[in-house]
Amino acid sequence: MQVRWALDLARVKYTEDAHAPGFHAFETLPATSGRCSATPVLVLRDGTATWDSTEILKRLAIMYSQQLGTLYPPGMGAEVEALEEYLDDVLGPNARQVCCCASATLHHPALTAACAVAILFHAP
Ligand SMILES: N[C@@H](CCC(=O)N[C@@H](CS)C(=O)NCC(=O)O)C(=O)O
């Protein structure tokens, strides 16, 4: 999602290929020469691929420094990157688990709440 936000912020025209979970790997693996199955993958016109949203954002920030200069304010790059990694690797997966859990327990609000608390507040 943050890659889309960055592309929009930079006013870059892009095409998004969306795929059902599982089927995405038929696109991501060839695009990355087998090095990454996960999304997002940014493929430039010359065929160059970048994967992992943090790496993609850093690349876009260099390519479109004028529009995206505020993503990594001078002196705060490491702090921003650490926050990105936390959101990508901890909060994002946990939030996805909460959504899956909620969809399975929709008719039992107390169970949904208990699952959400357990997932979001467990020690990483
Ligand atoms: N830290 C990675 C996480 C990427 C990630 O977890 N992608 C998920 C979808 S949101 C995925 O493609 N999972 C399936 C897979 O790894 O093949 C990033 O931000 O790019």
Instruction: Tell me the mean pLDDT in the region 104-119.
Output: 83
For the cut 70, the answer to whether the pLDDT of residue 124 exceeds it is: no
Q: How far is the CA of 52 from the centre of ligand 1 (A)?
A: 7
Residue 92 pLDDT level (bands cut at 50, 70, 90): confident
Q: How far is the CA of 38 from the centre of ligand 1 (A)?
A: 4
- Residue closest via CA to ligand 1's atom 19 equals 53
Q: What share of the chain is helix, strand, coil (3-state, %, to 5)?
A: 60, 5, 35
- Does one domain contain both 65 and 81? no
Domain with 102, as residue range(s), is 76-124
- Does one domain contain both 36 and 55? yes
- Does one domain contain both 65 and 80? no
Neighbours of 7 (CB within 10 A): 19
pLDDT of residue 90: 86
For the chain, the domain total comes to 2
pLDDT tens for 3-36 read: 999 999 999 999 999 999 999 999 999 999 999 9
Q: How far is the CA of 84 from the centre of ligand 1 (A)?
A: 13
Residue where one domain finishes, among candidates 49, 72, 95:
72
- Does one domain contain both 3 and 57? yes
Among 11-20, 70-79, 106-115, the range scoring the smallest mean pLDDT is 106-115
- Does one domain contain both 55 and 90? no
- Does one domain contain both 29 and 66? yes
- Residue closest via CA to ligand 1's atom 12 equals 38
How much of the chain, in percent, has pLDDT values that exceed 90?
Answer: 53
Mutate to test the pocket of ligand 1, among 39, 41, 54 (most ligand atoms within 8 A of CB): 39
> pTM for this structure?
0.79
118 lines ligand 1 (CB under 6 A): no
- Does one domain contain both 7 and 66? yes
- Does one domain contain both 87 and 104? yes
pLDDT tens for 61-74 read: 999 999 998 888 88
Among 10-24, 40-54, 78-92, the range scoring the smallest mean pLDDT is 78-92
